Every structure is written in C-alpha cells, then in structure tokens.
Amino acid sequence: MSTPTIPTDNVKVADAIISDEEWARAEGATKHFKALLETRPRAKARYDAVLAEINSRQATLRRLREARALTQSTVAELLDMDQSEVSRLERRSDMLLSTLKRFVQATGGEMHVVVQYPDGGPVELLVGDD
C-alpha cells in the first residue's frame, strides 16, 4: 500500500497529490457507508441531520467528515497520520490554516477564507499564496 503524498504544514497545499488508488479507496468507503444508510433508518436520519447542518453553513470538522461518509481512519490515511491524530484535530478549537485546508481537501472540499468588514463587501483572503 502506498503512502499518500500529503504536504506538511510548511509545504504549499497546492503541491499535494492524492493518487487515483487513494481516491478509489475513499470512494469505496463512501459507497459502503451510503449502502448501510439505506438499511438503517436511524442512521439515515442522523446522516440527513448532519447534511442539514452543513447546508445551513455551520459544521464542525467531525460533521464535515461524517457528511462525506468518511471514517477518521480513511481521513488519517489520506493525511498520512494516525486515526488518533484526526480525532484530536476534530476536537481542536485552534489550528494552523494550512492544517485546516489539508483536512478540507482530504474530505473532498476546497477552503476559502472570506473577510467581512462592516464598511465594505466580502474579500477572499489568499492563504499561503503570494
């Protein structure tokens, strides 16, 4: 099994490459999870609640991961870290933006930081870009 190529915090996230094999493994886990939801109404109701929370634009890292039907172990593998590190990361209230960006990318998303001042419109902050 190959190790995912995920940058450390001092490397640009844009340089991260996740192989087709790694994405296939993550997608396989997602398909298995969604198949289980079809047979378990209580789990499906919880999943729908998580999606509703995300759709309302507020979510924790754990909720983002769950809504993508990914386990901590799968995300850990994509980030080249231990499952326990992902668990701690999900509970943190303070982290590097680069770490947050890596987590979001590992769950299939893109991260944008938007700054809103009272006397102006929103401005997207370019994190790590010169």
% of the chain surpassing 70 pLDDT: 84
Residue 8, in any domain of the structure:
no
Query: Which contiguous run of DSSP H or E holds residue 130?
Result: none
> 123, 114 in Cβ contact below 8 A?
yes
* Angle made by CA atoms 59, 63, 69, in degrees to the nearest 5: 140
Instruction: Judge whether 66 lies within some domain.
Output: yes
Coil, strand or helix at 123: strand
How many folded domains does the chain comprise?
A: 1
pLDDT at 97 over 50: yes
* pTM (2 d.p.): 0.58
Q: What is the CATH number of the domain that holds 88?
A: 1.10.260.40
Residue 4 is assigned to a structural domain of this protein = no
In this prediction, residue 16 has a pLDDT band, given cuts at 50, 70 and 90, of low
Residue 10: is its pLDDT beyond 90?
Answer: no
Asked whether residue 21 is assigned to any structural domain, the reply reads: yes
Residue 2 in any domain: the answer is: no
Indicate whether 113 belongs to any domain.
yes
- Say which amino acid occupies 82: D
Positive or negative torsion for Cα 64, 27, 111, 88 = positive
Amino acid letter for position 102: R
